[in-house]
Amino acid sequence: MATRSLKKVNKEEKKGRKRVYYKKVVYDGGEFEVGDDVYVKRREDASSDDEVPEMEECRVCFKVGRGVMIECDDCLGGFHLKCLTPPLKEVPDGDWVCGFCQARKLGKDVEFPKPPEGKKTVRTLREKLLASDLWAARIESLWKEVDGSYWFRGRWYIIPEETASGRQPHNLKRELYRTNDFADIEMESIIRHCNVMSPKEYAKANDQGDDVFLCEYEYDIQWHSFKRLAEIDNDEDGECANGDEDWNSCKEDDSDTDEDMEYEEENERNAHARPSTTHQLAANSRKGRFFGIQKVGTKMIPEHVRCHKQTELERAKATLLLATLPKSLPCRNKEMEEITTFVKGAICDDQCLGRCLYIHGVPGTGKTMSVLAVMRNIKSEVDAGSIRPYCFVEVNGLKLAAPENIYTVIYEALTGHRVSWKKALQLLNDRFSDGKKIAKGDDRPCILLIDELDLLVTRNQSVLYNILDWPTKPHSKLIVIGIANTMDLPEKLLPRISSRMGIQRLCFGPYNYQQLQEIISSRLKGIDAFEKQAVEFASRKVAAISGDARRALEICRRAAEIADYNMKNQISSVNSSRVKDVVTMADVDAAIQEMFQAPHVQVMKSCSKLSKIFLTAMVYELYKTGMGETTFEKLAMTFSCLCTSNGEAFPGWDTLLKVG
Ligand code: ATP
Ligand code: MG
The Å distance, Cα 613 to ligand 1 centre, comes to 23
Predicted local distance difference test score (pLDDT) of residue 30: 85
Quick one: which H or E segment has residue 179?
A: strand 175-186
The Å distance, Cα 461 to ligand 2 centre, comes to 22
Q: What topology does CATH give the domain 13-47+126-270?
A: SH3 type barrels. (2.30.30)
Pocket test for ligand 1, best of 362, 550, 623, 645 (most atoms within 8 A of CB): 550
**Mean pLDDT on 482-492:** 85
Report which protein residue has its CA nearest ligand 1's atom 2.
363
| Correct CATH for 333-508 of 3.30.420.40, 3.40.47.10, 3.40.50.300, 3.30.413.10 | 3.40.50.300
The whole-angstrom distance between residue 117's C-alpha and the CA centroid of its chain comes to: 50
**Nearest atom in ligand 1 to 372's CA:** 11
Please, what is the end-to-end C-alpha distance for the chain in angstroms?
A: 69
Predicted local distance difference test score (pLDDT) of residue 276: 61
Residue 372: name the closest of 319, 336, 327, 399 by CA.
336
Predicted local distance difference test score (pLDDT) of residue 141: 93
The three-state DSSP-derived secondary structure of 275-336 is CCCCCCCCCCEECCEECCHHHCCCCCCCCCCCCCCCCHHHHHHHHHCCCCCCCCCCCCHHHH
What confidence category does residue 333 fall into, taking pLDDT thresholds of 50, 70 and 90? very high
pLDDT at 234 over 70: no
The Å distance, Cα 307 to ligand 2 centre, comes to 37
Domain ranges, ordered by start, for the chain: 13-47+126-270, 333-508, 520-597, 604-659
| Burial tier of 449 (Cβ tally within 10 Å: 0-12, 13-18, 19+) | buried
Predicted local distance difference test score (pLDDT) of residue 130: 86
Predicted local distance difference test score (pLDDT) of residue 8: 42
Predicted local distance difference test score (pLDDT) of residue 486: 85
In whole numbers, what is the pLDDT of the chain averaged over residues?
Answer: 80
Output the CA torsion sign for 436, 437, 440, 441: negative
Ligand 1 neighbours, Cβ below 6 Å, are 322, 326, 329-332, 361, 363-369, 485, 508, 519, 549-550, 553
Report which protein residue has its CA nearest ligand 1's atom 13.
366
- The mean-pLDDT minimum among 8-22, 375-389, 422-436, 464-478 falls in 8-22
Question: What is the per-residue pLDDT across 176-225, written as a single tens digit (0 to 9) for each?
Answer: 999 988 888 888 888 889 999 998 888 887 777 788 999 999 998 877 88
Q: Which ligand is nearest to the CA of 362?
A: 1
Quick one: which H or E segment has residue 140?
A: strand 135-144
- The mean-pLDDT minimum among 286-295, 343-352, 610-619, 638-647 falls in 286-295
Report which protein residue has its CA nearest ligand 1's atom 18.
322
The Å distance, Cα 80 to ligand 2 centre, comes to 59
Pairing mode, strands 356-361 and 478-484: parallel
| Burial tier of 129 (Cβ tally within 10 Å: 0-12, 13-18, 19+) | buried
Pairing mode, strands 446-451 and 391-396: parallel
If one compares 114 and 524, the residue with the highest pLDDT of the two is 524
The Å distance, Cα 370 to ligand 1 centre, comes to 8
pLDDT at 227 over 50: yes
Residue 177 β-bridge partners: 158
- The mean-pLDDT minimum among 88-92, 210-214, 295-299, 391-395 falls in 295-299
Q: Among residues of the chain, what percentage have pLDDT more than 90?
A: 32
**Mean pLDDT on 481-487:** 91
Greatest mean pLDDT among 74-88, 148-162, 482-496 lies in 148-162
Pocket test for ligand 1, best of 333, 365, 454 (most atoms within 8 A of CB): 365
CA distances from 392 to 230, 350, 469 (A): 21, 17, 18
Q: Which ligand is nearest to the CA of 542?
A: 1
The Å distance, Cα 557 to ligand 2 centre, comes to 20
The Å distance, Cα 367 to ligand 1 centre, comes to 6
Q: Which ligand is nearest to the CA of 484?
A: 1
